[in-house]
Structure 1
């Protein structure tokens, strides 16, 4: 198993040279690495599938509302840790593959759909939950298309990377459960909380996409709009 610094370097290479100095990203990856060390023999696919199932499991307690929202938030956080664990197991143990990399990306998007559905069932307006989910998807889609256009760097780390999405969804749902437990739910405090959390997440996604688009202006400025790499 690679040590932490070796793992961070390897993770960066697998993600197009992504910067791992951001406190949020570095902390998230370091936690995943610490969890992976005693589980080095576990196949990464097990963690991938478990992360997806746990993300889907957050929807029923979110729909139940009240104190169950705390459980929904905890399940969202656990799903995010499992998602990072599969990458740590694959990269840290030298078992990373292109197929696994693509599968992990697909599962990430499916778990974010589950987060958006959980926010909707917890009381966020449907259009806002859709906007939250779309803004989880759009920055990574733009990066993927830029890569197809010849850009071999992932660009700047924004405020709306994968760890931030997980944290926002988890704290929004969990916070709504706490508000409900304080008997503020009777005046719609829990619904206001999930609505506000979904709105902030969608806004951060818009800002992250704009930041990425601004950076890509120079990267895609070559002849015919082709990336310079």
Structure 2
């Protein structure tokens, strides 16, 4: 499949959203990585499941550092990064292999929500207070529900690209977990800061999305 065809199919799968230059670079890398997997007949659902398993596995080093000390948390950003890569690959494998389906899209969305919870759970295990973790989790889940519901009402594309898209959630959790591993003596402070940053971003992103969706739905009446 050519680069242009892959971009066209990605845009169609995302409600006609045009890929930005940065997204194009990401998609080029994903296409090259996914091509041999698609050629080998690897099921996209298997890649989706692998991504979720890696995200859940990030809880283990977080729990190990909380229990044993040391620098176990250094494994958290690594696992979250590889999980994020797998999350990008499953859709590309489906598109390149011609196996994209609505069931696969639903599975991917469900696994993404669980992976988001795992990333925040890692910060909680590393010492973040429950309040910002729950706020970040709740606002993030509501963010995606609002988007899905708005699309069901006719909103095309994402509605708005907010400050709390999934890459931001993963990056925040990974970055502050890395701080926990590099500075184990201040792990609780790093984890708490990450949870509060995640909560603030989730709330701002939710407001951004609600405003954009309301505007678009009002304009389409």
TM-score, structure 2 as length reference: 0.89
Aligned to 1:220: 217
Aligned residues of 1:19 and 1:156 also touching (Cα < 8 A): no
Structure having the higher helix fraction is: 2
| Residue 168 (1) aligns with residue 172 (2) | yes
Deviates more, 1:191-200 or 1:131-140: 131-140
- Alpha-carbon distance between aligned partners in 2 of 1:221 and 1:27, rounded to the nearest angstrom: 35
Aligned to 1:20: 19
1:131 to partner: Cα distance: 1.6
Mark the CA change 1:120 to 1:154 in structure 2 (over 3 Å): closer, same or farther: same
1:15-55 deviations in Å (ceiling 9; x for gaps): 212342063x4444333223212222221111111111111
Aligned residues of 2:140 and 2:206 also touching (Cα < 8 A): no
Runs of 4+ in 1 over 4 A off after TM superposition: none
Aligned residues of 2:127 and 2:191 also touching (Cα < 8 A): yes
Mark the CA change 1:136 to 1:92 in structure 2 (over 3 Å): closer, same or farther: farther
- Alpha-carbon distance between aligned partners in 1 of 2:171 and 2:21, rounded to the nearest angstrom: 15
Q: What residue ranges of structure 2 are gaps of 5+ in the alignment?
A: none
Mark the CA change 1:104 to 1:178 in structure 2 (over 3 Å): closer, same or farther: same
Mark the CA change 1:93 to 1:115 in structure 2 (over 3 Å): closer, same or farther: same
Q: What residue ranges of structure 1 are gaps of 5+ in the alignment?
A: none
- Alpha-carbon distance between aligned partners in 2 of 1:121 and 1:217, rounded to the nearest angstrom: 37
Aligned to 2:194: 197
- Alpha-carbon distance between aligned partners in 2 of 1:46 and 1:12, rounded to the nearest angstrom: 23
Number of residue-to-residue matches in the alignment? 215
